[in-house]
Structure 1
Amino acid sequence: MAMLRLLAISLLCGAVAVPFLGEPRGDGFEHARYAVLVALVIGQVVTVPIGSVAGLVLAATGSWPRTPGYVLGSVTTACGVVVAAQARAASRWIDGSPPGLRDPEDSSLAVAAAFLSGAFTICLGISLVVMRWSGYDPRTAPVRRGRTPRRRPRTP
């Protein structure tokens, strides 16, 4: 559970790079959208490996076994939907060959990476919510359900 939790947190923490790297090259909302998506992908390239290693260490030591909550799953899903929707809109804008972009093919690749990141974030968020909703708790042993022998009534 620590692995999934820290993976979700590291995907969300990729947004920390946006204020530092998200400087648009042109004027207009589309250029700003593209710059934010590229900065988000760059931030996730840095934060996801760190979160994955920390999650592996916590999972190997057995600490933090609690199931992630509804809030983390919901926020992760919502952020994934926003990123995927913005990446799809930016992809349509890039396909129209906008002025001000140096190489539309590289831009399409960066937006595709952002779309895949958003889709993966959606899947991770939904899986966190479903695991929490199903009542999965890794600290408990699975209950074996089977047929139990019935007692025969005593005859006097």
Structure 2
Amino acid sequence: MKPRIVIPKLEPEAYKAMLGFDHYLNSTGLTKTHKELIKIRASQINGCAYCIDMHTKDARKAGETEQRIYALNAWRETPFFTEEERAILALTEEVTLIQNHVSDKTYEAAASILDEHYLAQVIIAIIAINAWNRIGIATGMQPGL
């Protein structure tokens, strides 16, 4: 895919609003690990190469292991993720694939592990990366560009 329009140049106010999500999320108690796992997993599901490239690099810089990054798309089949991370990843998948809805089982599992504020922050982080993925895919953003 070749690059298309550049939203920050054409609609800087819309882009600034999107950056507001990131600014907010950076002010929350979400751990860097949780944020990057959410961003990578949603981006894998959505097929956003630009975001996968960016967030795997960010995760490595934050100390994430290669093993966990490589296994992320098969997280259910590995012992590499904590119970909390598993709840977050399950919620990430169901919010990303929202046409199937978020099941009570998945929501209740996350709610039983995370406090309400953290759960709300996780949901906002999932929504934000899904929006970024859609911008990246729709405009043909390329990794490394």
Q: Normalising by the residue count of structure 2, what TM-score does the alignment of the two structures yield?
A: 0.34
More RCO (CA 8 Å, sep 6+):
2
Pick the structure with more helix per residue: 2
Q: Normalising by the residue count of structure 1, what TM-score does the alignment of the two structures yield?
A: 0.32
